[in-house]
């Protein structure tokens, strides 16, 4: 059977992650979600399966896979639950990948093996209270104390994924290291002056970990600079470009999960003496949902294929993210509608999907920012 | 330690399965074929033995061409290689014939431990491990929910309806396992990629010195004479409570050996 753009091995990975999501995640995730609790036991199992090492080389403990493999896994996880999917996405795309891409040998050896094994998580702190989409406008500063050979960081970050778990080992933060000069600096968890606020009360992604961070004369060694001084902004832009494909895959998974749940429910729920799935309006709604999920998948597969081939993918990644997140919200809305009152009850998976869908149009670049990227890529300044 | 795991490809037990109307055999053409579930536990146990004691894990499968798909999946969990017994004459082989073929293959490999699932989800005979041990003249430790190895001594906890028995034997031995023994791992992507390159030896009946008459339809001593669909569920028994409904329920449950 052909699965567009996937090798036999990628298809097998897809099947394996699907099995894990259905057998291990689905039965337990609702409880974690209700309690706003981080599912350490699932993260541990995902680590044992090698999911955190998917796009990394085996020298560092990785799986010798590629970004496509990561996206395949994310889609299948999100088809069942988005919290575990975003935990994996952020851990790799935002956490480990910048260190892999821009880190020195020393930094890679020190931080990556435990991240790749899923024993630790890393976070990426870009967004601040007064700068999100406009991420070049940050206010956090890092001053070099030459005599001590240390960066002194002051400021704060908001909405940072994976930043406060008991296994979080570091947060990479962007900070002003001079006028109009942004650099990225690794701040190990537990560094004095680095405070993690209690978790937010979120609408969705309730079993994922998100915190506000503050830095108050927080000192880290000079060698914690990640990549080139002053290149922090350019570095994270390139990281976000590929991250969009991952979020598109995750959004596609949610959209497909809505189809799965709706097909099941529509066949079993009866109204006016027949299963609701026998009514054409329900059938058409589900057919539209499936069509949207399918095109969202084609969009992210295309962007991922370009990335893996080393070709330009910026526009395609933005299109995939824009389209898939729109589709996720549309499908979640329709799936809830098909479930009637039950769809409004948190114990139904579609309710979770509805709550988890909206953030997809906001995180890692809002839909407006995706349109901006597409328009600029078409030459409109 | 040299370990062989027997792996059978079966129709997915989660989907609808049928017998073929013409020859009363399992219809494998329409079904989604998967690794027999219990065999995954045997593979996991073999890999744990290997991790603790070293050695080599080989998958042994008798089955048609398409069984190679299941062999590759088994290899993606981590075993080192596989042997696939493939021969057109094997079609229609019963448990006795299967044990003859597998025993011949095992004699070639000469393992210390043969691990297998306690039953397959298609036939459910639970006889193969015993037949194999008998043919090879080695011990059969069957129905294990736990396996420990000390030197050449194997000890299992044999699961029974009432509890468990502790049974020991020296290697070589056949050990069959239930799904209570462990939690099989999911293959990693690296494992999936590596499985492509692992050696799979294909053996014919001639390679094993087994004649075609001893297997297949001609060699089968057992067969399915006829089959019919499972009858629809009967209505069951209603207990109207006029004061002693509870007693009647308990009586029913004890009579049916539910409690
Ligand atoms: C659960 C969660 C997890 C997150 N995880 C992380 C993380 O791990 N690391 C991290 O750094 N950040 C993280 N974020 C932050 C996220 O990336 C930002 O919220 C997002 O980029 C939007 O920024 P903002 O919230 O400041 O919105 P704003 O930028 O203030 O946007 C407000 C609105 O204005 C629109 N807008 C802004 N500029 C323009 C423009 N030029 N043209 C048209 N419209 C415009 C936006 O599209 C939006 O609709 C997370 C957020 C959430 C909610």
ipTM score for this prediction: 0.89
Question: Catalytic residue at A364?
Answer: yes
Is A158 close to ligand 1, i.e. is its CB under 6 Å away?
no
Residues B192, A48: C-beta atoms closer than 8 Å: no
User: Do the domain assignments include residue A71?
Assistant: yes
CATH number of the domain that A310 lies in? Answer: 1.20.140.10
Which of A85, A102, A121 is the C-terminal boundary of a domain? A121
A222 and A112 in one domain? no
Task: Give the end-to-end CA distance of chain B in Å, rounded to a whole number.
Answer: 43
User: Do the domain assignments include residue B242?
Assistant: no
Distance CA(A73)–CA(A105), nearest Å, equals 28
Distance CA(A200)–CA(A122), nearest Å, equals 18
Q: Averaged over A129-143, what is the pLDDT?
A: 95
Work out the angle between the directed axes of helices A82-89 and A40-48 (0-180°, nearest 10): 60
Range(s) of the domain holding residue B190: 2-227
Among the residues of A219-270, which ranges form H helices?
Answer: 232-268
CA separation, residue B257 to residues A355, B247, B252 (Å): 47, 15, 8
CATH number of the domain that A161 lies in? Answer: 2.40.110.10
- Token match 């065999």: residue? B39
**If you write DSSP's letter for every residue of B54-106 in order, what string do you get?**
--EEEEEEE--TTHHHHHHHHHHTS-SEEEEE--GGGTT--HHHHHHHHHHHH
Note the pLDDT tens digit of each residue in A221-269. Answer: 999 999 999 999 899 888 899 999 999 999 999 999 999 999 999 999 9
User: Do the domain assignments include residue A2?
Assistant: no
Query: A-side interface with B, Cβ within 8 Å?
Result: 9, 12-13, 16, 19-20, 48-50, 53-54, 58, 62-65, 69
Q: Which atom of ligand 1 is nearest to the CA of A94?
A: 8
User: Do the domain assignments include residue A3?
Assistant: no
Residues B185, A9: C-beta atoms closer than 8 Å: no
Which of A121, A136, A159 is the C-terminal boundary of a domain? A121
Residues A63, B189: C-beta atoms closer than 8 Å: yes
Is A94 close to ligand 1, i.e. is its CB under 6 Å away?
yes
Note the pLDDT tens digit of each residue in B154-203. Answer: 999 999 989 999 999 999 999 999 999 999 999 999 999 999 999 999 99
Distance CA(B104)–CA(B109), nearest Å, equals 9
The tally of domains found in chain A comes to 3
A126 and A92 in one domain? no
- Mean pLDDT over all residues of chain B? 92
A362 and A258 in one domain? yes
Helix (H, G, I), strand (E, B) or coil at A290: helix
Task: Give the end-to-end CA distance of chain A in Å, rounded to a whole number.
Answer: 44
CATH number of the domain that A83 lies in? Answer: 1.10.540.10
The encoded tokens of residue A174 equal: 């962007």
Residue B256 has pLDDT above 90, yes or no: no
Note the pLDDT tens digit of each residue in B16-29. Answer: 778 888 888 777 77
Hey, of A20, A55, A63, which one would you mutate to test binding to chain B, going by the most B CBs within 10 A of its CB?
A: A63
User: Do the domain assignments include residue B255?
Assistant: no
Q: What is the pTM of this model?
A: 0.91
Spatial CB neighbours of A310, under 8 Å, sequence gap ≥ 6: none
Note the pLDDT tens digit of each residue in B65-108. Answer: 999 999 999 999 999 999 999 999 999 899 999 999 999 999 99
Which of A96, A121, A146 is the C-terminal boundary of a domain? A121
Q: Phi and psi for A49 in degrees, rounded to 5?
A: -75, -5
User: Do the domain assignments include residue B60?
Assistant: yes
Residue B124 has pLDDT above 80, yes or no: no
Distance A362 CA to ligand 1 centre (A): 6
Distance CA(A7)–CA(A13), nearest Å, equals 10
CATH number of the domain that B88 lies in? Answer: 3.40.50.620
User: Do the domain assignments include residue B258?
Assistant: no
User: Do the domain assignments include residue B111?
Assistant: yes
Distance A364 CA to ligand 1 centre (A): 7
Distance CA(A175)–CA(A155), nearest Å, equals 9
- Contact by Cβ (8 Å): A116, A109: no
Residue B14 has pLDDT above 80, yes or no: no
Alpha-carbon distance A79 to nearest alpha carbon in chain B (angstroms): 18
pLDDT of residue A1: 65
The tally of domains found in chain B comes to 1
- Contact by Cβ (8 Å): A1, A8: no
User: Do the domain assignments include residue A1?
Assistant: no
Reported as a pLDDT band with limits 50, 70 and 90, residue B236 is confident
- Mean pLDDT over all residues of chain A? 97
Note the pLDDT tens digit of each residue in A55-71. Answer: 999 999 999 999 999 99
Name the percent of chain A lying above pLDDT 90: 96
A82 and A16 in one domain? yes
pLDDT of residue A284: 98
A160 and A104 in one domain? no
Distance A128 CA to ligand 1 centre (A): 9
Q: Phi and psi for A146 in degrees, rounded to 5?
A: -60, -40
Range(s) of the domain holding residue A77: 8-121
């Amino acid at each position: 059977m052909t699965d567009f753009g996937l090798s036999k091995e990628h298809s097998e990975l897809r099947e394996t992650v699907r099995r894990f999501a259905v057998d291990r995640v689905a039965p337990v995730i609702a409880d974690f979600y209700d309690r706003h609790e981080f599912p350490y036991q699932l993260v541990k199992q995902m680590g044992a399966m090698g999911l955190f090492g998917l796009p990394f080389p085996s020298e560092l403990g990785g799986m010798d896979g590629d970004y496509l493999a990561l996206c395949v896994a994310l889609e299948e996880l999100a088809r069942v639950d988005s919290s575990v999917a975003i935990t994996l996405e952020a851990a790799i795309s935002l956490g480990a990948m910048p260190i892999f891409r821009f880190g020195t040998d020393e930094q890679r050896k020190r931080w990556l093996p435990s991240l790749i094994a899923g024993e630790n998580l890393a976070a990426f702190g870009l967004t601040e209270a007064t700068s999100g989409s406009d991420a070049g406008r940050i206010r956090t500063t890092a001053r070099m104390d030459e005599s001590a050979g240390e960066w002194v960081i002051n400021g704060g970050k908001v909405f940072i994924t994976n930043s406060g778990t008991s296994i979080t080992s570091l947060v990479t933060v962007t900070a002003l290291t001079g006028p109009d000069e942004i650099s990225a600096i690794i701040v190990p968890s537990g560094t004095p002056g680095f405070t993690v606020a209690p978790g937010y009360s979120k609408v969705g992604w309730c079993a994922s970990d998100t915190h506000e961070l503050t830095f108050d004369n927080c000192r880290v060694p000079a060698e914690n600079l990640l990549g080139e001084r002053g290149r922090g902004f350019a570095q994270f832009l390139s990281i976000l470009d590929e991250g969009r494909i991952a979020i598109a895959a995750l959004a596609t998974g949610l959209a497909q999960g809505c189809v799965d749940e709706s097909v099941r429910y529509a066949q079993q729920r009866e109204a006016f003496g027949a299963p609701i799935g026998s009514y054409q309006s329900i059938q058409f709604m589900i057919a539209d949902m499936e069509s949207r999920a399918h095109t969202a998948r084609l969009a992210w597969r295309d962007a991922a294929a370009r990335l893996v081939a080393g070709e330009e993918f910026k526009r395609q990644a933005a299109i995939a993210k824009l389209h898939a997140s729109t589709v996720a919200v549309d499908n979640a809305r329709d799936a809830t509608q098909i479930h009637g009152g039950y769809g409004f009850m948190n114990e139904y998976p579609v309710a979770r999907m509805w709550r988890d869908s909206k953030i997809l149009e906001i995180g890692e670049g809002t839909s407006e920012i995706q349109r901006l990227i597409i328009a600029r890529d078409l030459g409109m300044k | 330690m040299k370990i062989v795991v027997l792996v059978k490809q079966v129709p997915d037990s989660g989907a609808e399965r049928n017998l073929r109307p013409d020859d009363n055999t399992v219809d494998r053409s329409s079904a989604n074929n998967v690794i027999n579930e219990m065999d995954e536990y045997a593979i996991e146990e073999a890999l744990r033995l290997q991790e603790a004691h070293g050695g080599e894990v080989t998958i042994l499968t008798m089955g048609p061409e398409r069984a190679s798909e299941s062999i590759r999946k088994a290899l993606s969990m981590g075993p080192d290689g596989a042997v696939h017994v493939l021969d057109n004459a094997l079609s229609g082989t019963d448990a006795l014939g299967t044990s003859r073929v597998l025993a011949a293959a095992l004699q070639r490999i000469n393992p210390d431990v043969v691990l297998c699932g306690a039953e397959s989800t298609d036939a459910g005979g639970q006889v193969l491990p015993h037949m194999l041990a008998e043919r090879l003249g080695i011990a059969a430790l069957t129905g294990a929910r736990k396996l420990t190895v000390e030197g050449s001594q194997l000890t299992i906890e044999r699961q029974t309806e009432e509890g468990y028995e502790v049974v020991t034997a020296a290697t070589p031995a056949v050990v069959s396992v239930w799904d209570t023994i462990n939690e099989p791992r999911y293959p990693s992507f690296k494992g999936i990629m590596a499985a492509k390159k692992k050696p799979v030896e294909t053996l014919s009946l001639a390679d094993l010195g087994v004649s075609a008459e001893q297997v297949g339809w001609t060699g089968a001593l057992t067969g399915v004479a006829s089959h019919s669909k499972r009858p629809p569920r009967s209505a069951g028994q209603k207990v109207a409570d006029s004061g002693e409904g509870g007693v009647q329920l308990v009586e029913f449950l004890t009579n049916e050996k539910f409690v």
